[in-house]
Structure 1
């Protein structure tokens, strides 16, 4: 059971998930485990839907948004820019009282898009802070959200009862729900999520290109452990980088500045020592805060 205290009554009797990848698929599996009676509808390519049906993660599925016409909650779990294209199509399809959320790692653009929806549309942007280095339904897990934050970024006009329903939903799947402002969210995640992904991918590309397969075979655990994210799918991160470029750019600039400091200080080591000591302190804090 995901929730150690047992599941509360389901806040939604039916759920439609658009995008049955790692996050969307894990939501489907978690809902199935916590609330077996809740109807789950999946929208994705035919082969992905078939995979999810074989895993008994969904009750019905297909590649058309029209399948969402009678569900209580719609979760947009496609890549970020695809979600932006899909969102305006939903009001003509879903029930007026349906709740819509998303799971993307950038929030300002989709909230701006939601502001153009018909009055009364019940949308709340969301971001479960969970994932893995590899995507796809084949890597989805019912416990993916356990003890992980799940953030929502409501606006002043957002119906508080809708937010509370989504918080209950997220908590029942094992996560710890919370609320952030849009600007705070996109700046923080530019540093703690988007920058690490780009830095690790660049590191692995540079190292691999420089030494080749034979050279990589000689590396210690450090390179393997520190480059886990290099296996992440480019299509997901292309969207994230484009949508949050104004925040990721300064984060990259900050990293480049430190790397340039290290480059000019290689023979002296003064700045290198400062960076290593600062990094060790923040690493200790990271471990402490993420293992609470």
Structure 2
């Protein structure tokens, strides 16, 4: 099923986080070039009119765990919404790689940097996701949408139902294989199915609509599948998508 994508979500969005735990952050230099605090030049963002840019859905996007797929997502988000802040959480080596690839704007090895996050992507190891989800409320200050990038949803849903301010909407992008010699690429989501797995018991349906809009703006095809049915298909190795080339990382 291909749900229609809602229009622009306009709301009062939180200011960017610039706390002391951030070991790297972005500032704007001459000519619109973003440079790091050590003055290393980063990517140039071409100027585009407001009419050419998709509406900002999440002002602050956080990615927990930086592998090839999540780095590709972060890079795609930065290119789609130049005004949004993309936050990375991982160890120093992964964060350094993310900075080198221009996939994040700010990063830190701990969750304190998530104070203003509006979308949180759990891309850490599968055995770490439940523990990370349980800890989020200690750091996230306002309502936020939490998603993942694949794997069983049941335990995450059960945990999320007990958390204030957080709406968990699972997902699973059927990413394209990485282009030759380039494991991180924003176009890995172009035209591919991206399963969005809502919780029918969640009283906040707006979270699903925002995530669907986010997925569609990245160029993927959102497909709604209730979390219980998703887990059933995943366990039976029956989670398939037609008309696309599926790859693994």
Fold-level similarity (TM above 0.5): yes
Cα separation, 1, equivalents of 2:117 and 2:65: 16
Superposed, 1:1-292 pairs within 5 Å as 7-118=53-164, 120-130=165-175, 132=177, 139-158=183-202, 159-192=204-237, 289-291=242-244
1:187 Cα shift? 2.3
Structure 2 residue runs of 5 or longer lacking an equivalent are 1-50
Q: Which runs of 4+ in 1 moved over 6 A?
A: none
Distance 1:172 1:88 in 2: 29
Is this contact kept in 2: 1:76–1:103, CA < 8 A? yes
- Assess if the C-alpha contact under 8 Å between 2:160 and 2:167 holds in 1: no
Deviation at 1:36, TM superposition (A): 1.4
Partner Cα distance (1:22, 1:187) in 2: 26
Q: What SS does the corresponding residue of 2:190 show, helix, strand or coil?
A: coil
Kindly indicate which of the two structures has a greater share of residues assigned to helix: 1
Greater radius of gyration (CA) = 1
Does the C-alpha gap of structure 1 residues 193 and 61 become closer, same or farther in structure 2, counting only changes over 3 Å?
farther
Q: What is the CA distance between 1:131 and its match in structure 2?
A: 5.6
The alignment of Structure 1 onto Structure 2 pairs a total of residues equal to 192
**Runs of 5+ consecutive residues of structure 1 not aligned to the other structure:** 197-285
Give, in whole Å, the separation in 1 of the partners of 2:105 and 2:244. Answer: 36
**Does the residue aligned with 1:112 lie in a helix, a strand or coil?**
helix
Distance in 2 of aligned mates of 1:9 and 1:140 = 25
Task: State the Cα deviation string for residues 131-180 of structure 1 (Å, max 9, x = none).
Answer: 648xxxx7221011111111222222321111111111011111111211
Is the Cα contact below 8 Å between 2:200 and 2:226 reproduced in 1? no
Deviation readout 1:88-108 (Å, 9 max, x if unpaired)? 100110122222211122212
